[in-house]
């Protein structure tokens, strides 16, 4: 039987939808406070279990009869204040899942992130061979995903049958205006700025599809970048704005402007108690030029990625 952690999340719910659409039964983990997304709430092929990956004692019975595990559960934040929670979930939680997979002889597919990859040489794209150079000053999310991935590699040395996927920025209509959907909300609201950065983007449907293909692929101890197209933020913002029939952003947010913005918002958050909308880590990420190479997963699985331009239009139509 198949186990999916983080089953109510953006990626986890899409994965479960595709698994159950294929007629496969799934045991899925959810927290007590989690809401089951509409796309999978009426499926009778899902056995929902309330559990916490940071409480391994509650997971023992859940692994009985499980042969395949998709580990999607993670905490995502670019706020340095969340470092403790990021490490607790993304490292300790992953360690617990790895240990149980080893104990029960399960095949594991772990969802890491491109944030756990190293930098490419100038003029080159980032590949699976670009291993992260440890940097304690790196943003907490990237550090937590790197350390979480190291737990999986540790398990592999102990005999674990596992593969790792490193998705780029995942987009899709069911995100709404949350997570990566915040980009669409920002542009739709008339935000006039863009940053001189770039990253990879991929549709959530393709990430789930790639995960299912790799789970059945007879390879272990490998990782795969899951990304469709590399986009400069200016071009991305422009396409989104035009899709909403709005004027594209025309002002470049310079590094010094972002530095003032995150410091000011951090100062005011002390008095308001709310999370700043721009953090130091988020500002730094928005200025990075990261281009990802997806040839490995294409060559080994034959997957054909949906163009990001098509995903953008589908998301806009849904949000309208």
Query: Which pLDDT belongs to residue 274?
Result: 53
The DSSP output letter for 38 is: T
227 burial (CB, 10 Å; 0-12 / 13-18 / 19+) is buried
Alpha-carbon distance of 18 to 196, in angstroms, equals 36
Alpha-carbon distance of 306 to 311, in angstroms, equals 7
Q: How far is CA 50 from CA 4, 5, 37, 107, 174, in A?
A: 12, 10, 15, 22, 23
Q: Where is pLDDT greater, at 128 or 263?
A: 128
Instruction: For residue 121, count other CB atoms closer than 10 A to its CB.
Output: 8
Tell whether the model's pLDDT for residue 16 goes beyond 90: yes
Counting residues of the chain whose pLDDT is more than 90, the rounded percentage is 62
- From first CA to last CA, the distance across the chain in angstroms is 39
pLDDT tens sequence across 259-317 = 444 344 343 444 445 555 554 555 466 657 789 999 999 999 999 999 999 999 999 99
Sign of the torsion angle spanned by Cα atoms 150, 33, 35, 60: positive
Q: Are 13 and 7 in contact (CB under 8 A)?
A: yes
Query: Which pLDDT belongs to residue 269?
Result: 42
Alpha-carbon distance of 60 to 63, in angstroms, equals 6
Mean pLDDT over 33-58 rounds to 91
Coil, strand or helix at 129 = coil
Q: Are 265 and 276 in contact (CB under 8 A)?
A: yes
Q: How far is CA 124 from CA 120, 130, 196, 229, 300, in A?
A: 6, 11, 18, 15, 21
Alpha-carbon distance of 199 to 232, in angstroms, equals 7
Mean pLDDT over 23-45 rounds to 92
Mean pLDDT over 112-120 rounds to 89
Please state which of the ranges 41-45, 148-152, 181-185, 286-290 shows the lowest mean pLDDT: 286-290
Tell whether the model's pLDDT for residue 237 goes beyond 50: yes
The average confidence (pLDDT) of the chain is: 87
The C-alpha R_g of the chain, in whole angstroms, comes to 19
Helix and strand totals (H; E) in the chain: 11, 12
Contacts of 185 (CB under 8 A, 6+ apart): 177
Alpha-carbon distance of 50 to 305, in angstroms, equals 34
Instruction: For residue 272, count other CB atoms closer than 10 A to its CB.
Output: 9
Q: Where is pLDDT greater, at 218 or 224?
A: 224
Phi-psi region of 97 (alpha: psi -120 to 50; beta: other; left: phi over 0): alpha
Q: How confident is the model at residue 258 (pLDDT cuts 50, 70, 90)?
A: very low
The DSSP output letter for 90 is: I
């Amino acid at each position: 039987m198949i186990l999916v952690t983080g089953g109510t999340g953006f990626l986890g719910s899409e994965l479960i939808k595709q698994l159950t659409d294929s007629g496969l039964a799934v045991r899925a983990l959810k927290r007590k406070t989690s809401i089951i997304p509409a796309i999978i709430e009426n499926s009778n092929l899902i056995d929902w279990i309330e559990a916490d990956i940071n409480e391994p004692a509650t997971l023992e019975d859940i692994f009985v009869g499980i042969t395949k595990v998709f580990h999607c559960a993670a905490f995502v934040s670019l706020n340095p204040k969340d470092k403790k929670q990021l490490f607790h979930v993304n490292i300790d939680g992953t360690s617990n899942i790895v240990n149980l997979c080893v104990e029960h002889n399960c095949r594991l597919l772990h969802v890491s992130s491109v944030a756990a990859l190293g930098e490419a040489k100038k003029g080159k794209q980032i590949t699976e061979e670009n291993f992260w150079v440890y940097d304690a000053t790196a943003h907490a999310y990237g550090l937590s995903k790197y350390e979480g991935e190291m737990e999986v590699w540790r398990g592999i040395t102990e005999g674990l049958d596992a593969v790792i996927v490193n998705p780029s920025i995942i987009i899709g209509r069911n995100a709404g205006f949350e997570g990566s959907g915040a980009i669409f909300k920002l542009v739709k609201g008339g935000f006039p700025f863009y940053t001189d950065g770039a990253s990879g983007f991929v549709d959530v449907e393709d990430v789930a599809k790639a995960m299912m293909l790799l789970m059945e692929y007879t390879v272990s101890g490998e990782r795969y970048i899951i990304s469709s197209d590399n986009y400069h933020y200016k071009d991305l913002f422009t396409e989104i704005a035009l899709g909403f029939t709005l004027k594209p952003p025309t002002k470049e947010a310079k590094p010094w402007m972002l530095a003032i913005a995150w410091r000011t918002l951090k100062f005011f958050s002390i008095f308001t108690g709310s999370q700043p909308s721009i953090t130091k880590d988020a500002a730094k990420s928005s200025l990075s030029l990261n281009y990802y190479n997806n040839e490995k997963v294409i060559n080994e699985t034959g997957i054909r990625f949906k163009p990001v331009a098509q995903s953008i239009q589908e998301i806009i139509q849904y949000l309208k």
